Amino acid sequence: MIKITFPDGSVREYEKGVTGLQIAESISPALARNVVSCGVNGETTELNRPINEDATIALYKFEDEEGKHTFWHTSAHLLAEALQELYPGIQFGFGPAVENGFFYDVMPPEGVTIKESDFPAIEAKMAELVKKNEAVVRREVSKADALKEFKADGQNYKCEHIDEDLEDGTITTYTQGAFTDLCRGPHLMSTGDIKAIKITSVAGAFWRGDAKREQMTRIYGISFPKKKMLDEYLVMLEEAKKRDHRKIGKEMELFMFSERVGKGLPIWLPKGTDLRLRLQDHLRKVQKRFGYQEVITPHIGSKNLYVTSGHYAHYGKDSFQPIHTPEEGEEYMLKPMNCPHHCEIFASRPRSYRDLPLRIAEFGTVYRYEQSGELHGLTRVRSFTQDDAHLFCRPDQVKQEFLNVMDIIQVVLTAFGFDFEAQISLRDPNDNEKYVGSDEDWALAEKAIVEACQEKGLHAKVEYGEAAFYGPKLDFMIKDAIGRRWQLGTIQVDYNLPKRFQLEYTDEDNQKKTPVMIHRAPFGSLERFTAVLIEHTSGHFPLWLTPEQVAILPLSEKFNDYAQEVAKKLDLEGVRSTLDLRNEKLGRKIRDNELKRIPYMLIVGEKEAAEGLVSMRQQGGGEQATMKVEDFAAKINAEVREMTKGF
């Protein structure tokens, strides 16, 4: 017999060789019908994999993130199986599950282009295969056998992957029907549970993400265990299209992109700049209460700076290539991270334990070379500004400083009405080569994060393999108005960069000690945060934040002078207004300003000009009233005070 420990701490005994499915069946038939995979000792596996020793177990349904990953991973294989039947000779690259569904990178046969009009045929073939309810069979194979098998099938990309990336004892394949794929899993036990499928888009993608290699076809899809779920998802997609920050940003004149300036390089227009500066001011007010000092560092740095920090080794491929100075023989890089610069600020003069914690903040613009096919509005760009800060502290100060940062992030996110979840991101226990630093330092850093979450009563999900290369982190995932999850704020504990930069302070016993570093960014980046905020609010920003709080609409050109007087009075009262002096009918002006999501409109005509009044109309046809300009200004300011009293 073996002992199985469940997430609630309860323990049951089962015969050796029991499977996750059998454990689910022992709890309830309903659970067994809905479970799709299981976590054994923290590793997600198939339900039919035998468990031969004492273990912890978690049973995952589709609603769980791990369950979705299993479901969509199998769906990616189902897509490939369908493509293999529809396009004989097609070659396969990689086909993973992603946050919303799955994709497969393929190289169609010569002369064949897979396009949107082919989606219905692909979906039909996948549905046909689902009806066969094919078992998904896992095999462990040698490198030689794997190469032989995929070479016989003419799968050149798979052979390259095996030859360059895989070793004996690590290779597994999964087979369903006539399709076999290289894969670590996990998968469903059979394809019959995939009840609803939608191919969503097609795009280009370079093999291995290398722009020097051949371009493949990337086919995206999503699937569900019930048709109703797919229907709800498609409704959500339609709503997401309406909320697309690229569309709304253009309508509201917030930001733009220019091919001449360069792909993925956003330009903030006046109204967007106003919005961005208010976001910065909001955070400045909060962090000032916690003793932060703001700095500005250059947009470039010596390549040696990032070699020292380790960023060049770990992010060099994602950075812009070094800039060479032939005369001096120096190499510089566009700044990919702010933290090395802040380490140099700490090192610029001797530090005492009395100086700590030292809290350095910067709205620092950084640069990453994202592949052009991965760029997407403000959410995936090549130039972005982090609301970055680095706290240098003694080991005994780490937990309190971490708790303080958690308070800052909570204040910042709740100001926008976001619901958020937390995720503790730890090292991959099976691959320490991706990380720097000693096991002892990692254990201390991970302990500080776990204890801080426990002290705050914050239930945080633990994810292995998601840590930064220099330390574990606590990530904040927000859920927007239509249920999508976005990763925004982050806090990271780092024992390693201070050692790499040989940072020191003099302790009270007059000994030299190494500080601990905490990285934090409540917004994450201003670009991504703004994109999420636009889509969450559909452009209807909180009154305190919106660039234009009121539009003033004269009924005709005769009342333009009075409209300008109203604008001046509002400005003196701190109310942000815009004038619409176009010679257009009132209905057209209202429609156009509704599109700009301006919260209030003030209509002025003969009666208003004569009596010093304004006719107020709320966005969306809400509250309407006629009042004095001073009373309207007082109303707006009272609303803003009420909204911002918590921060």
Residues annotated as catalytic are 339, 368, 386, 388, 390, 473, 519
Q: What is the DSSP string of 427-488?
A: --TT-GGG--S-HHHHHHHHHHHHHHHHHHT--EEEEET-SBTTB-EEEEEEE-TTS-EEEE
Q: Is the dihedral of CA 534, 535, 536, 539 positive or negative?
A: positive
**What's the rounded Cα separation, in Å, for the pair 289 and 71?**
47
Q: How far is CA 36 from each of CA 19, 181, 235, 504, rounded to the nearest angstrom?
A: 12, 20, 25, 51
* H-helix or E-strand spanning residue 106: strand 101-107
Q: Are 362 and 296 in contact (CB under 8 A)?
A: yes
- Identify which of 197, 28, 190 has the alpha carbon closest to the alpha carbon of residue 126: 197
Which residue is it, tokens 């701490």?
9
Q: Are 386 and 276 in contact (CB under 8 A)?
A: no
Q: Are 416 and 536 in contact (CB under 8 A)?
A: yes
Q: Are 219 and 199 in contact (CB under 8 A)?
A: yes
**What's the rounded Cα separation, in Å, for the pair 69 and 101?**
8
Phi and psi at residue 551, in whole multiples of 5°?
A: -110, 135
The neighbour count for residue 192, using CB atoms within 10 Å, is 14
Q: Are 191 and 130 in contact (CB under 8 A)?
A: yes
- Identify which of 345, 374, 379 has the alpha carbon closest to the alpha carbon of residue 362: 345
* H-helix or E-strand spanning residue 137: strand 137-140
Which residue is it, tokens 């059979």?
190
Structure-token pair, residue 135: 């078992």
Q: Are 405 and 359 in contact (CB under 8 A)?
A: no
**What's the rounded Cα separation, in Å, for the pair 2 and 19?**
12
The H-assigned helical ranges of 252-360 are 270-288, 303-309, 311-315, 339-346
**What's the rounded Cα separation, in Å, for the pair 254 and 78?**
42
Residue 554, C-beta contacts closer than 8 angstroms, at least 6 positions apart: 560, 562, 563, 580, 581, 604, 605
Residue 367, C-beta contacts closer than 8 angstroms, at least 6 positions apart: 299, 319, 320, 334, 335, 336, 382, 383
Span between the terminal Cα atoms of the chain, in Å: 57
Contacts 24+ apart (CB under 8 A), 615-621: 617/590, 619/540, 619/594, 620/594
How many residues in total does the chain contain?
Answer: 647
Cis peptide before 357 (omega within 30 of 0): yes
**What's the rounded Cα separation, in Å, for the pair 181 and 487?**
31
**What's the rounded Cα separation, in Å, for the pair 320 and 378?**
19
